[in-house]
Amino acid sequence: MILVLDRLGTAQGFSMSLSNQEISRYSRQMILPELGMKGQQNLKNGSVLVVGLGGLGSPASMFLAASGIGKLGLVDYDVVEISNLHRQVIHGEKTVGVPKAESAKTFLENLNPHVNIEVFKEPFTTANALEIVKNFDVILDCTDNAASRYLLNDAAVISKKPLVSGSALRFEGQLITYNYKGGPCYRCIFPVPPPPEFVTNCSDGGVLGAVPGTIGTLQALAISLSVVCGASYVGKMLLFDGFRGSFTEVKMRSRQPTCSVCGDNPTILALLEDYPQFCGAGQKRGIAQIFERISPSDYKEIVTAQQPHI
């Protein structure tokens, strides 16, 4: 997932030079001819908003800070729980019960004091999304639910910001850049939210700790490489299978002219009032009527009698 140089630094609107201490700190990557002094300065001039400081946001923010990004925005209203620690490596046992954004800021400031860190310990909602997003060049979607993904997508499109989206579940992960250089937005690919009963998260389906670590690191790599070559995976999704140790690229559809938010005649011109409701939160799941149900013992009789059934 590689963005290009022309996004970094646009939100801050000014240029900052590197100190001697920073040159020493970043020297091992600055000796890369593809990066050099100019590339490092561009990283310092850049700003990234990380929404979600869990399994994806932890490694993403850590490597962005370590690489020398100038400004990091950290959005998360949740608190650290012991069940987070196998994958959310920016937190530790001493920060259990602490707001994740605060815990992450403490870690990152110790990792690299040269990075300007802005914390948002509040829910990312329709009421504040555009105000938060406007001060950053690029958005990283490190969330784990459909409502947040649609909200982030719409905020990115309306604000004209690239959106680097990652996801991880069980042994698998995905990575894609939305809303960039004629590429699709999230709604182009998923115009309609999936039924709530088909949506699974880490709490329900489980996740191997290193899988979100891999995807989150690749999200950070996307930003770092943006100053190197300007290539782009727009229109492609990177699939990671940790169980088999494989990466696969899948070509995605291009921007859809009929898309409701980024199309030629969009119908969504402002953020929706209630994204959880849009995604079906609170809807009653269909329950089979009495005459549609079958008990285990009745089904066993059908199987034993070898009766045709579906």
pLDDT band, residue 156 (cuts 50/70/90)? very high
Q: What integer is the mean pLDDT of 143-168? A: 95
49, 118, 91, 226 alpha-carbon torsion, rounded to 10°: 30
Q: Taking 50 as the threshold, does the pLDDT of residue 2 lie above it?
A: no
Calpha distance 165→237 (Å, rounded): 10
- Looking at residue 253, its pLDDT comes to 87
Backbone phi and psi for residue 67, each to the nearest 5 degrees, phi listed first = -75, -15
Please list, in sequence order, all residues whose beta carbon lies within 8 angstroms of the beta carbon of residue 239, skipping any fewer than 6 positions away. 172, 173, 174, 247, 248, 249, 250
Average confidence (pLDDT) over 3-13: 55
Question: What pLDDT, on the 0 to 100 scale, is given for residue 293?
Answer: 60
Percent of the chain with pLDDT over 70: 87
Which CATH topology does 1-282 take?
A: Rossmann fold (3.40.50)
Sign of torsion over alpha carbons 147, 149, 152, 158: negative
Report the phi/psi class of residue 245: left, alpha or beta, with left for phi > 0 and alpha for psi in -120 to 50.
left
Average pLDDT over residues 96-113: 98
Q: Is the pLDDT of residue 41 over 90?
A: yes
Q: What end-to-end distance do the CA atoms of the chain give, in Å?
A: 44
Q: Kindly tell me if the per-residue pLDDT of 209 is higher than 60.
A: yes
Tell me, what's the pLDDT at 292?
A: 55
Contact 179, 262 (CB under 8 A): yes
At 159, list the tokens: 């604000």
Is the CB of residue 89 less than 8 Å from the CB of residue 83?
Answer: no
Number of Cβ within a 10 Å radius of residue 303: 9
- For residue 304, the model assigns a pLDDT of 82
The residue among 120, 85, 115 whose CA lies nearest residue 101 is 120
Q: What is the pLDDT of residue 76?
A: 97
Which of 299 and 179 is assigned the larger pLDDT? Answer: 179
Listed range (16-20, 108-112, 265-269, 281-285) with the worst mean pLDDT: 281-285
| Per-residue tokens: 78 | 């949740």
**How many angstroms separate the CA atoms of 219 and 113, rounded?**
22
Q: What pLDDT band is residue 91 in, cutting at 50, 70 and 90?
A: very high
In contact, 219 and 175? CB cutoff 8 Å? yes
Q: Where are the domains of the chain?
A: 1-282
Each residue of 292-304: pLDDT tens digit? 566 777 777 777 8
Window from 25-34, 95-104, 148-157, 271-280 with minimum mean pLDDT: 271-280
Q: Is the pLDDT of residue 119 over 90?
A: yes
pLDDT tens string 255-267: 999 999 999 999 9
**By mean pLDDT, which of 11-25, 36-50, 55-69, 274-288 is the weakest?**
274-288
Give the angle subtended at the CA of 130 by the CAs of 127 and 131, to the nearest 5°.
85
More confident residue, 190 or 283: 190
Reply yes or no on whether the pLDDT at 227 is more than 90: no
**Radius of gyration (Cα) for the chain, nearest Å?**
22
The answer on pLDDT for 287 being more than 70 is no
Reported pTM? 0.86
- Whole-number average pLDDT of the chain: 88
What does the alpha-carbon distance between residue 22 and residue 68 come to, in Å, rounded to a whole number? 8
> Tell me, what's the pLDDT at 305?
82
Residue 246's pLDDT is what? 95
Residue 125's pLDDT is 96
Q: What percent of the chain has pLDDT over 90?
A: 70
Amino acid code (one letter) for 128? N
